[in-house]
Amino acid sequence: MSGGDTAAPTTPGTQRLEGHRATTLGASPFTRNAPAIGVAITFGVLSLIWLVAGDALVGGRWLVTHLFTLGVLSVLIWSFSRNFAARFTGAGDLPERLVTTWALTLLLGVSVTVMIGGRALGAHWPLVIGTAGVMLVVGANVLTLRRLRHRARNERFVWVVRRYEDAHVVFLVAAGLGGSIGAGWVPGELFIAVRDAHIHLNVLGWAGVTVLTTLVVFGPAMLRVRIEQGAEQRASAALQRAVFGLGAAALGLVLSGIGLTIGDGAEGPARLLFVLGMAAYVQAVFVVALPLLRAIRDHDRSPLRWSIAASIIWLPVAVVVDTVLLVLGRPGWSVGLAVALLVGVLAQLILTVLLHVAPLLRGRDFAARDLIIARTEQLPRTRAVVLNLGVVVVLLAELLPGLPDVVVRQTARAGWSLVVVAVVVHLAIILWPVGRADPSEVRSAAANRYRGGS
């Protein structure tokens, strides 16, 4: 399989796939993720609606960001970190019953809804209650992860669970800062500094550390290659430094805000602390990214490689630009950087992971799985180009100086249109009904390779 824009060719080996294709399969390894995926897709669709509507709906751009970061990103991180931790430690499955998983997912989804609704409507207590609910579910998951780590039968991946625990703790700090901002407990002169610390801990800590940790061990699986020798050990040490570095960077942001209120250059040492912390984070990004980029360069076994490559290239670029802007005293969390990090990196990786797990989650026999896999093999490079071109166009509209307002609006609208089209196509691949797949009609290069074909 080339992974390009052509369908997999039919080969004589395809005929060998048909004998066992109607066999009914057992429970999917991602069954426990199903409710969280449903909640995330619901919030994702709402994000698209608010994005297209713009300021016509309450909340505007702020609501789009939080619908995605909390309703999509946080729900999926919470769910997949639990599932991966159970499997990486050799525990096999979570200790709780499936109904408990559904209940926790519902509580998390409701808490996110209440929190976002409270903030959008300017209601204090719903915001506080929703934030507390989210923190309760995530905090309880720290204990679950710790129990799984202590019961580990496979020591090789224990470090992964430790980094998941670190990311959860970072989220609790970020949520506390965000809740304090929303409740009006942060002094006005520190508002921007605390907001920037909250954003960096949330996006780069909670999401970034979890994603980078998962990519070390799950990225090769999506690329259908082996983990590069020594990559785990290097990543484990680098990501531990990244957690401490990000904590130092967030502290530097807050101290910088205090220094600015004092004046006379008092913010200088705090900015140096921020830069050093971000440097540790960027170094960890390269440690994780380089083995994956080498695998993408050397192998063409997965149609997902285009999206994975784009995501891990966007991350260091966005973090470096963000750091430079903040050091120069300019707004660090611009719209352009939000697009690069939230869409170019995180949304793209979420769609990629969902494409990878959809055949295992939805296909109840090999024919159905092959059908969904075959869908992912159609125009993978074009899908990635459309999404990333949209990100580039929005970045140009938002970051290039001196453009007339009408040009900025129309260019940004064109870029967002490309992003929306790409996201809808990905969701269609994931959600389109499977029906009764005819084994003789399903053509999948991946299935042909791994189920006995030539």
How far apart (Å, rounded) are the C-alpha atoms in residues 172 and 187?
Answer: 21
Contact 352, 382 (CB under 8 A): no
Q: In this structure, what are the phi and psi dihedrals at residue 403, rounded to the nearest 5 degrees?
A: -80, 140
According to the model, what pLDDT value does residue 247 have?
96
Is residue 141's pLDDT more than 60?
yes
With cut-offs at 50, 70 and 90, classify the pLDDT of residue 450.
Answer: low
Q: How far, CA to CA in Å, does 365 sit from each of 24, 52, 134, 419, 440?
A: 5, 38, 36, 33, 14
Token pair 């609006």: residue: 409
According to the model, what pLDDT value does residue 367 have?
79
Say which range, 124-128, 260-264, 288-292, has the weakest mean pLDDT: 260-264
Is residue 388's pLDDT more than 50?
yes
User: If we measure between CA atoms, which residue out of 353, 220, 234, 350 comes closest to residue 292?
Assistant: 220
How far apart (Å, rounded) are the C-alpha atoms in residues 357 and 336?
Answer: 30
Q: DSSP alpha helices (H): ranges in 54-157?
A: 60-66, 75-88, 98-121, 124-150
Is residue 7's pLDDT more than 80?
no
Q: DSSP alpha helices (H): ranges in 299-440?
A: 305-327, 335-338, 348-362, 366-376, 380-399, 405-431
According to the model, what pLDDT value does residue 438 have?
63
DSSP 227: P
Is residue 254's pLDDT more than 70?
yes
Is residue 13's pLDDT more than 50?
no
Reported as a single tens digit per residue, the pLDDT across 147-187 is 999 988 888 999 999 999 999 999 999 999 988 887 788 99
According to the model, what pLDDT value does residue 105 have?
97
Tokens coding 363: 């296909």
DSSP 32: G
* Secondary structure (3-state) at 423: helix
Tokens coding 104: 């926790």
Is residue 2's pLDDT more than 50?
no
According to the model, what pLDDT value does residue 136 have?
97
With cut-offs at 50, 70 and 90, classify the pLDDT of residue 21.
Answer: low
CB-based contacts of 232: which residues, under 8 Å, 6+ apart? 156, 157, 159, 216, 217
Rounded to the nearest integer, the mean pLDDT of the chain is 88
With cut-offs at 50, 70 and 90, classify the pLDDT of residue 348.
Answer: very high
Is residue 262's pLDDT more than 90?
no
Reported as a single tens digit per residue, the pLDDT across 277-329 is 999 999 999 999 999 999 999 998 899 999 999 999 999 999 998 898 888 87
Contact 365, 19 (CB under 8 A): no
Tally Cβ neighbours within 10 Å of residue 97. Answer: 9
How far apart (Å, rounded) are the C-alpha atoms in residues 200 and 333?
Answer: 9
According to the model, what pLDDT value does residue 442 have?
66
The DSSP secondary structure of 170-202, one letter per residue, reads: HHHHHHHHHHHHHTT-S-GGGHHHHHHHHHHII
Higher pLDDT, 195 or 436: 195
Sign for the pseudo-dihedral over CA of 80, 82, 88, 90: negative
Residues of the chain by 3-state class (helix, strand, coil), percent to 5: 80, 0, 20
DSSP 5: S
Token pair 């802007």: residue: 325
According to the model, what pLDDT value does residue 62 have?
82
How far apart (Å, rounded) are the C-alpha atoms in residues 53 and 335?
Answer: 17
Is residue 4's pLDDT more than 60?
no
Q: Report which residue type is found at 16.
A: R
Return the exposure string of 395-424: e unless at least 16 CB atoms fall within 10 Å of the residue's CB, then b: bebbbeeeeeeeeeeebbeebbebbeebbe
User: If we measure between CA atoms, which residue out of 356, 351, 353 comes closest to residue 369?
Assistant: 356
Say which range, 91-100, 102-111, 223-232, 389-398, has the weakest mean pLDDT: 91-100
According to the model, what pLDDT value does residue 124 have?
82
Is residue 237's pLDDT more than 70?
yes
Name residue 24's beta-bridge partners: 365
According to the model, what pLDDT value does residue 52 have?
87
According to the model, what pLDDT value does residue 48 have?
93
Is residue 453's pLDDT more than 80?
no
According to the model, what pLDDT value does residue 449 have?
65
Element (H, E) at 453: none
* Secondary structure (3-state) at 24: strand
Is residue 22's pLDDT more than 80?
no
Tally Cβ neighbours within 10 Å of residue 176. Answer: 14
Section 231-246 average pLDDT: 96
